[in-house]
Amino acid sequence: QVQLVESGGGLVQAGDSLRVSCAASGRAFRGGTMGWFRQAPGKEREFVAASSWSEGSIHYADSVKGRFAISRDNSKNTLYLQMNSLKPDDTAVYYCAAGIPRDYSDSGQYIYWGQGTQVTVSS
């Protein structure tokens, strides 16, 4: 069992930066993929970024490429999402997920989920 707890969300202005974190506890999670998804009001949950522990690969949605960066601290079992040049369209609840997906962008293929952290970007 893996527990995921997100933190670091908040209210910022357009153009600002923010870093959200995801602390993983319980059974050490190795060999799989951890990712970030987001869901805005009235919209479906969408892929943001993913990091494969075993392959060492990183993937981003086109909408955040060049502005967001996913990273991890293995010693702390923590996943990060650094968000720069934030836009009002980035406003959403950001979720951390873990699993062994064949398609890293498919939320249905992730097993474990955090409770989410709200990120609001004002114009």
Q: Which residues, given as ranges, of the chain have pLDDT below 50?
A: none
pLDDT, tens digit (0-9, with 9 covering 90-100), for 50-72: 998 777 899 999 999 999 999 98
pLDDT at residue 32, as a whole number: 84
Per-residue HEC secondary structure of 3-21 comes to EEEEECCEEEECCCCEEEE
**C-alpha distances out from residue 3 to 19, 28, 86, 112, Å:** 20, 10, 28, 7
